[in-house]
Amino acid sequence: MAPSSEPEHVRRLIKILETRALGMVTCGAGGGGFLLMLTRLPDDADKVQNIVEGHHIDAYVATLNIDEEGLRIRVEEAVGLLGVGGA
């Protein structure tokens, strides 16, 4: 990312949170968007929220979960639809 491409309050937020992060990336443009952060510890959302509030930064902390099992697809034979399955 180009130097100084994000607003000062975003640079400040990144600096404040960098010790808790495995990685961060900013997304969005035109005064909107968000900072996506992967924390070092799985349950750090409350700590991050407290840090943000303690520095009087107007930001919302949302939590995400990663499904470690992955996507499972079950295929069933479509009987009677458009002549498929011998109907």
CB 69 within 8 A of CB 49: no
Nearest alpha carbon to residue 35 among 53, 47, 21, 46 = 21
Please report the pLDDT score of residue 22 as a whole number. Answer: 92
Please report the pLDDT score of residue 33 as a whole number. Answer: 74
Two tokens at 27?
């997304």
State the 10-residue block means of pLDDT for the chain, 87 residues long: 71 90 83 82 88 86 82 78 57
- 5, 8, 46, 66, 82 from 69: Cα distances, Å: 37, 39, 25, 9, 34
Could you tell me the residue ranges of all domains in the chain?
1-87
Q: On the CB side of 36, how many CA atoms lie within 13 Å of its CA?
A: 6
Taking the whole predicted model, whether its pTM rises above 0.75 is answered as no
Please report the pLDDT score of residue 7 as a whole number. Answer: 78
